[in-house]
């Protein structure tokens, strides 16, 4: 006896982890280097990662990845001459670049997060997402936004 599976159920992806391929920004190709992995369920991630170290920055990066998958579809980890860019998307709105950091109050951290985005010499939107609850502002064309506002699509209203 066979039980038919409705086509709507067959269309769903069910994973514990999602992977993000590395994307060569200059060469515009997917690299075969190691992928980065992101947990679908952050509660499960917390149980499986037995260390008690607070890794808020990594959790924020995971949340942003999941939201970008929902909004944009394919999400890549960017590689450029300036280093790694947390996320590159090629969704309906065109290409976009994202850096994610818990906080950039320290000038060295801000410079590090911006340097990889500055190394990309194109005119696609570049965004730095942080937990610093401040009014969005621009660093030479790179928008810095508060993560909660970005997640709620409120970041454009505070400019």
User: Does residue 1 form part of some domain?
Assistant: no
Query: Would residue 83 be called left, alpha or beta, if left means φ above 0 and alpha means ψ between -120 and 50 degrees?
Result: left
Residue 120 domain flag: yes
SS3 50: coil
CB 117 within 8 A of CB 108: no
Q: Region 20-49: what's the mean pLDDT?
A: 79
The residue segments making up the domain with residue 105 are 15-158
Say what the pLDDT of residue 111 is. Answer: 93
Buried b (16+ CB within 10 A) or exposed e, 63-77: bbbbbbbeebeebbb
In this prediction, residues 6-22 reach a mean pLDDT of: 71
User: How many domains does the structure of the chain reveal?
Assistant: 1
- Asked whether residue 3 is domain-assigned, the answer is no
Is 2 part of any domain? no
Please indicate, yes or no, if residue 71 is contained in any of the structural domains: yes
Tell me how crowded residue 3 is: count the other CB atoms within 10 A of its CB: 4
Q: Label residue 86 by pLDDT band (50, 70, 90).
A: very high
Percent of the chain with pLDDT over 90: 45
| DSSP-assigned beta bridge partners for residue 126 | 97
Q: Is residue 7 part of a domain?
A: no
Give the span between the Cα atoms of 44 and 53, in whole angstroms. Answer: 16
Q: How many Å apart are CA 114 and CA 99, to the nearest integer?
A: 8
Mean pLDDT of the chain: 84
What average pLDDT does this structure show over 66-86? 90
pLDDT score of 145: 95
Q: Tell me which of 46 and 137 has the higher pLDDT.
A: 137
pTM: predicted TM-score of the whole model, two decimal places? 0.83
- The pLDDT of 25-51, averaged and rounded, is 77
101 within domain boundaries:
yes
Phi, psi of 76 (to 5 degrees): -120, 160
**How do residues 93-126 score in pLDDT, each as one tens digit?**
889 999 999 999 999 999 999 999 999 989 999 9
Q: Residue 105 domain-assigned?
A: yes
Rounded mean pLDDT, 10-22: 75
């Amino acid at each position: 006896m066979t039980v038919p599976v409705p086509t709507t159920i067959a269309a769903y992806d069910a994973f514990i982890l999602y992977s993000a391929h590395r994307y060569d920004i200059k060469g515009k190709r997917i690299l075969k280097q190691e992928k980065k992995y992101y947990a679908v369920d952050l509660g499960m991630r917390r149980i499986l990662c037995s260390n008690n170290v607070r890794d808020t920055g990594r959790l924020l990066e995971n949340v942003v990845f999941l939201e970008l998958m929902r909004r944009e579809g394919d999400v890549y980890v960017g590689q450029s001459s300036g280093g790694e860019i947390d996320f590159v998307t090629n969704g309906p709105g065109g290409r976009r670049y994202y850096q994610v950091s818990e906080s950039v109050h320290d000038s060295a951290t801000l410079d590090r997060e911006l340097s990889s985005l500055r190394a990309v010499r194109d005119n696609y939107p570049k965004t730095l997402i942080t937990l610093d609850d401040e009014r969005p502002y621009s660093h030479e064309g790179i928008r810095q936004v508060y993560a909660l506002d970005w997640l709620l699509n409120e970041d454009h209203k505070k400019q």
